């Protein structure tokens, strides 16, 4: 961690990037885009922001790749399984909504 201080400008850039993405999200809410586009855009931005936070703020990018490989696939797989169970049925409910 001898480079802890030298990473400061990079971390400020990451913070500015996170603020910028959040600002775009709020603007999308302000101009009221359609629900499907809104959901896709917001979730894309959220995943990008989550990866930025984990890679830089939580330092995963600078740790051994083995740590990421142990943590990330399990989480992603569990979330995908949850979505595979629930979302097709949710789509059906949306279609059948009175």
Binding interface with another protein (CB under 8 A):
1, 4-5, 7-8, 11-12, 15, 18-19, 22, 25-26, 28-30, 32, 35, 38-39, 42-43, 45-46, 49-50, 53-54, 57-59, 63-64, 66-67, 70-71, 74-75, 78-79, 82-83, 86-87, 89-91, 93-94, 97
**What is the closest distance, in whole angstroms, from the C-beta atom of residue 1 to another protein in the complex?**
4
Calpha distance 6→9 (Å, rounded): 7
Least separation in angstroms between CB 61 and another protein:
13
56: Cβ contacts below 8 Å, ≥ 6 apart: 10, 11, 14
Task: Please compute Rg for the chain using Cα positions.
Answer: 18
Instruction: Supply the minimum distance, in Å, between the C-beta of residue 46 and another protein.
Output: 5
What is the three-class DSSP state of 80? helix
C-alpha closest to that of 52 among 27, 22, 18: 18
């Amino acid at each position: 961690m001898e480079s802890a201080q030298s990473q400061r400008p990079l971390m400020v850039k990451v913070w500015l990037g996170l603020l910028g993405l959040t600002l775009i999200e709020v603007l999308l809410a302000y101009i009221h885009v359609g629900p499907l586009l809104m959901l896709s855009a917001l979730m894309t931005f959220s995943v990008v922001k989550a990866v930025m936070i984990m890679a830089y703020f939580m330092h995963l990018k600078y740790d051994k790749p083995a740590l990421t490989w142990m943590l990330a696939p399990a989480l992603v797989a569990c979330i995908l399984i949850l979505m595979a169970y629930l979302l097709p049925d949710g789509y059906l409910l949306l279609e059948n909504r009175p």
